[in-house]
Amino acid sequence: MSENESLWLVEASKGDVDAFARIVEQYQKPVFNLCYRMLGNVEDAEDAAQEAFLRAFKSIRRYDPRRPFGTWLLSIASHYCIDQLRKKKAKGFSLDDEENSWRAPEASSPKPETVAIQREHQAEVQDLLTILNPLDRATIVLRYWYDYSYEEIAKTLNLSISAVKSRLHRARKALAEQWKAKESQEKILNVERARHESPAF
């Protein structure tokens, strides 16, 4: 963490909203991305990310400076998202709302075909993540998007290292099996389609 960020944190701990807004500016992308991967749509992710930052601001005095600030923030965000998912589970939460689905990142994909491919990949990724329970999903997201070690994941999610290992293993297996099932289904569909198509001239 830079010296500036330390100063902003000191100011924020005295209740300065504008100082913490600078922290928000620095960390908005990783926190929002985590919320999006967890919740699956932009609106919920925005709400969750805003709430996570607000909770962090309110409890800034409880922040232990020996711990990396990013890990602490992501811990708040992931716990909030897990709670939201558990609450929504009873209501039949859906990730298939096309209107709220993934938006193309502005700078990294100037070509329309790249955007289309990325959109397709994003949708596939979200479909895959949906099959996991909230805690397994958080474990996978922290591992693959943030490159967290077992120890960091354990600290972020308040789990033991062995629990993280077993959750990662279970989640990876579920993802691979789901992908395999999807591929075989697509193969069957392609064969069916080819059988029903009229022969070429």
Q: Select the residue interacting with another protein from 86, 87, 89, 180 (CB under 8 A).
A: 180
DSSP 99: G
Question: Is residue 151 part of the contact set for another protein (CB under 8 A)?
Answer: no
Question: Is residue 42 part of the contact set for another protein (CB under 8 A)?
Answer: yes
Q: How many CA atoms lie within 13 A of 108 on its CB side?
A: 7
Question: Is residue 14 part of the contact set for another protein (CB under 8 A)?
Answer: yes
- Return d(Cα 176, Cα 164) in angstroms, integer: 18
Q: Which is nearer to another protein, 18 or 197 (CB)?
A: 18
Question: Is residue 143 part of the contact set for another protein (CB under 8 A)?
Answer: yes
Q: Which is nearer to another protein, 58 or 89 (CB)?
A: 58
CB 175 within 8 A of CB 132: yes
Question: Is residue 95 part of the contact set for another protein (CB under 8 A)?
Answer: no
Question: Is residue 121 part of the contact set for another protein (CB under 8 A)?
Answer: yes
Q: Which is nearer to another protein, 94 or 184 (CB)?
A: 184
- Return d(Cα 156, Cα 120) in angstroms, integer: 30
CB 23 within 8 A of CB 40: no
- Return d(Cα 176, Cα 155) in angstroms, integer: 26
Closest CA to 82 of 38, 47, 142: 38
Q: Sign (positive/negative) of CA torsion 45, 103, 73, 154?
A: positive
Count interface residues toward another protein (CB under 8 A). 56
- Residues near another protein, by CB under 8 A: 1, 5-6, 9-10, 13-15, 17-18, 20-21, 24-25, 28-30, 32-33, 36, 42, 45-46, 49-50, 53-54, 57-58, 63, 65, 69, 102-103, 105-106, 108, 118, 121-122, 124-125, 128, 143-145, 168-169, 172-173, 175-177, 179-180, 183
